[in-house]
Amino acid sequence: MAKKRSRRRAKGPGIVSTLRDPKKVRVAYIIAGFALVFGGSLGFGASRCGESSPGQRGAAETRPSDIITTIEDHEITYYEYGREQDSMRRNIDASGDGAILRPPEFWAEENYGVLRRMIDMEYFDIRSRDAGIEISEDKIEERYQEYRNILLPPSVNIEDRSLLERISDAFASVKEDKAFSESLKRIDPTLTPSRLRSIIEQELFAQEFIAGLQARMEQEIIGELSNEANILREEIIGGKDFGEAAQERSDHQTTSGIGGFLPMVRHTDTSLPGQIINSAFSLPIDEVSLPIIVTQPDFFGVWLLKVTSRKEASGDEWLEAREEIGLRLLDERRQQVEQGIIEMSEEGTITVSEEEKINEYEEADIKIIYLKAEDPMGRVTQHVYEDQDTMAIVINDPQLRAIHHSVNQEWELAAVSYYEALERNAGFFDPELDNQYAIDMREANLRYLLAYMWTTRAFSSESEWLQAIWQQFQADPDAFAGAFPSTPENIKEEQQGYYVLALANLDRAIEFEEMQPWSRLARAQIDLAREHVSTRLIDDLATAHEYSSNDPELINRVLSSLNQLVAIDDRALEAAEDIRPETWIDPVYPETEMGITLEEIDAPFFDLIDTTETPEIPADELTFESPAELEISEVDEETSEEPEEAVDDTEIIPGEIDEEPVEDLDEPVVEVEDNPDSETPAWLPIVPVPEAPGPLTQELRDRVEELRDEIQMSVDIINARRQAAEQQRQAMQQQQFELPPPDEPPSAEAEDLLSEEDATEATDE
């Protein structure tokens, strides 16, 4: 039996934009599902209900190959997934964010997000039915009519129509139903009125289930805070100073720093919840209140209160002030009537009640401790997250399964799934269809995503280290003699192996894609991360720019990379005492000198796919159709009686490079780790950190600066277009509200840039 595989997750913040905290990403998908459940209008893309009961499919309706995912006994078919995927793409295309080219990882994450939301909706369907939640047809019909009125709003309210008009409406209902169906199809070509009802039912199930969870979590949170408040109250009664306790424990930002003290509180004070105001004028002085539970959103939590002094409406002082307060309030009330702020009473008189005079006079000095309650939706999300991990969820599509593992930072499982997708893709070749080009393009995409995953993995260990160092630095700025330490060498060396895995896959993708910009840019960014400056790096950035189509995201990434290249060269020039070389010799990449090939990198992962053993899986683990996950578990956790045999007798020491080139590339040179307790995977290449090549020649530096200036001009033109478009949009909005157009024209710089571009286009023509 395979042992349960332990999960290692990076806890640190991302260093680059590609790095995600896995739990936050997973939770983000669940929260996105909540937003679609509780959100605005017509969120049809969230559900995958068919015409029958949600999630239920008979064996006669679908074949196993048609099913992309199962969750318990619910099935999601490729057809249903494709329908939601098309809806997602239409929404993105209609977003108008100006993006022309989107990186493959964008679509991969969006595609996984579609599946994740569909799984979440199936989860809500299963759990709500298990909880015995029932949705009446009246509720479904009410929501259905809300959507119908949004798409086909009536010109006259139904209750204002005459009987004759209502009879006429009945005869026209067929025509209206047709118009409504057409409106739905404009939103989603696959959307029908009956499918809309199924979607509404599933959304209502989810809403009821989440609302029940939220109420339960609120009670749980309040119970914990009440216990904490009772303990704190006993400490204060036992002698602990209330002000000291407030400084240590209170979440009330205004008063926690001054011991919870809040003077001159009145009945009309709106900065405190009503329960606290009432207690301030009823609690005996110097007595600590029992925990006061407040459920108002702005004050949600548990409070403790102590009244230190109070001015009450009694005695001679009150009698002297009473008449003056009444006259003042009458005068203020009269001015409000004259200004139209309030209306005169029906009797035509202005009066001030005795209670109003008392409320104006009385005040109290209090001390408070506020134990703020956390947002219960956080616990709801965590509950859903943990509960889903106890369910049997099977993702049959290897590429989506790979993204699922990447989100959870289960790198080995993600890699095996990607290689299974590569193997499956290669099996699609059909000589009669001559579909080799399509197969090559899909492999290029998979290779790019593999490289993206390994690049993200390269930063995960550094992220953990960086977070620990940053916390230490914040606690003691002098801990590192005022200088933030650089990344340790052992982390840098481990990163090199992941960089090599990524680079080998990017090289393969570039072979297929030729001039496709994203792979070129990704390879350039890895070279920059290694500070491995070469003509290949400059060429990749130039190619990415050439084929950027002036896409804002891509062109800004290229510009950022060029600025990073200039900074690296400036440091190299400073180290060389401002002397540039006469000629440039490209440095040899360590992985090239060591003879590491793509075939050697691929082999371990393809071997893991070939296993046929199916060990037992713990019930609380996500299971997958492919046995690859089980084989990985054995590699990670089980130790063999016989030590693993290294594929090469020559030990490769990090930091050293063989002086003689590798002649026989059939001999694997990737070192296999012998120590079974080591966290370094056996398939990770041991590659030394490349040495800095020194400054560029003046010719290459001039080329880099010329390219940077050209790209900067493109970025300025894009920004000028955005400015002009935004001003045009604002002018149109003002015209709609019958306001004069703005006096401010596009800036002179924007007009100059646009005029220059027009002149360039005319010259080209």
With 60 as the cut, is the pLDDT of residue 681 above it? Answer: yes
**pLDDT tier, 756 (very low <50, low <70, confident <90, very high otherwise):** low
Q: By C-alpha distance, which of 315, 316, 311 is closest to 360?
A: 311
Per the model's pLDDT, the better-predicted residue between 630 and 73 turns out to be: 73
Split at pLDDT 50, 70, 90, the class of 550 is: confident
- Signed CA dihedral, 561, 565, 571, 575: sign only: positive
Total count of residues recorded for the chain: 765
> Is 697 a domain residue?
no
Residue 7 pLDDT > 50:
no
For the stretch 174-221, pLDDT in tens is 566 777 788 887 777 778 888 888 889 888 998 999 999 999 999 999
What is the sign of the dihedral through the CA atoms of 479, 484, 488 and 494?
Answer: positive
Q: Looking at the structure, do residues 55 and 181 belong to the same domain, yes or no?
A: yes
Handedness of CA 417, 422, 423, 424 (dihedral sign): positive
- Determine contact, residues 358/281, Cβ cutoff 8 Å: no
188 and 54 within one domain? yes
Does 246 lie in the same domain as 134? no
Among 155, 182, 215, give the residue marking a domain's end: 215
Residue 350 is predicted with a pLDDT of 84
Dump pLDDT digits (tens) for 46-98: 444 444 333 343 333 444 468 999 999 899 999 999 988 988 888 888 776 66
Domain boundary among 215, 232, 259: 215
Three-state DSSP at 301 gives strand
pTM (2 decimals)? 0.70
Rounded Cα gap, residues 453 and 114, in angstroms: 20
% of the chain with per-residue pLDDT over 90: 42
Q: How far apart are CA 493 and CA 15, in angstroms?
A: 17
d(CA 386, CA 595): 45
Co-location of 261 and 207 in the same domain:
no
By residue range, what is the domain housing residue 172? 41-215
Of 530, 503, 494, 502, the C-alpha closest to 679 is 494
Residue 478 lies in a domain: no
Q: What is the mean pLDDT of residues 749-757?
A: 57
Whether 313 is covered by a domain: the verdict is yes
Query: Is there a single domain that holds both residue 227 and residue 208?
Result: no
Q: How confident is the model at residue 348 (pLDDT cuts 50, 70, 90)?
A: confident
Q: Domain for residue 444, yes or no?
A: no
pLDDT confidence tier of residue 704, bands split at 50, 70 and 90: very high
Q: Are residues 238 and 192 in the same domain?
A: no
Strand spans (E) along 683-732? none
Q: Which residue would you say has higher pLDDT here, 562 or 41? A: 562
Q: What is the pLDDT of residue 734?
A: 74
Looking at the DSSP assignment, which residues form a beta bridge with residue 372?
301
Q: Tell me which of 326, 341, 375 is where a domain ends.
A: 375
Listing DSSP states for 34-88 in one string gives HHHHHSSS--GGG----SSSTT---TTT--GGGEEEEETTEEEEHHHHHHHHHHH
Domain shared by 172 and 132, yes or no: yes
Flag whether 479 is in a domain: no
**Between 42 and 747, whose confidence is greater?**
747
Statement: residue 596 has pLDDT above 70: yes
pLDDT value, residue 181 = 82
pLDDT digits (tens, 9 = 90+) for 16-39: 223 334 444 444 544 444 444 444
Amino acid 36: pLDDT: 45
Least confident of 11-15, 82-86, 679-683: 11-15
On the question of pLDDT at 665 being above 50, the answer is no
Output the pLDDT for position 751.
59
485 has a pLDDT exceeding 60: yes
Per residue in 314-345, pLDDT (tens digit) is 988 998 888 898 889 988 888 888 888 888 87
Of 151 and 498, the one with more pLDDT:
498
For the chain, what is the mean pLDDT? Answer: 78
Asked if the structure places residue 61 within a domain, the reply is: yes
Residue 124 lies in a domain: yes
- Average pLDDT on 414-419 reads 95
Q: Are residues 233 and 182 in the same domain?
A: no
Summarised one tens digit per residue, pLDDT across range 577-589 is: 999 999 999 999 9
Quick check: is 69 in a domain?
A: yes
Give Dmax over CA atoms of the chain in angstroms.
107
What domain count does the chain have? Answer: 3
CA 296 to chain centre: 29
Q: What are the tens digits of pLDDT across the range 613-625?
A: 333 333 333 333 3
Say what the pLDDT of residue 303 is.
Answer: 96
Phi then psi for residue 293, to 5 deg, are: -90, 125
Instruction: Name the pLDDT band for 45 (thresholds 50, 70, 90).
Output: very low
Which residue would you say has higher pLDDT here, 467 or 373?
A: 373
Residue given tokens 């349960």 in the structure block: 4
DSSP code, position 683? T
pLDDT number for residue 619: 33
Predicted confidence (pLDDT) at residue 762 exceeds the cutoff of 70: no
Is residue 681 classed as helix, strand or coil in its secondary structure? coil
Note whether 54 and 147 are same-domain residues.
Answer: yes
Three-class SS of 625-644? CCCHHHHHHHHHHCCCCCCC
Answer for the pair 68, 395: CB distance below 8 angstroms, yes or no: yes
Cα–Cα distance measured from residue 222 to residue 584, given in angstroms and rounded to the nearest whole number: 69
Tell whether 61 and 198 lie within a shared domain: yes
- Residue 312 sits in the same domain as residue 364: yes
Q: Is the pLDDT of residue 674 over 80?
A: no
Q: What is the mean pLDDT of residues 657-674?
A: 38
Q: Are 137 and 50 in contact (CB under 8 A)?
A: no
Share of the chain above pLDDT 70, in %: 74
d(CA 300, CA 303): 9
Same domain, 284 and 314: yes
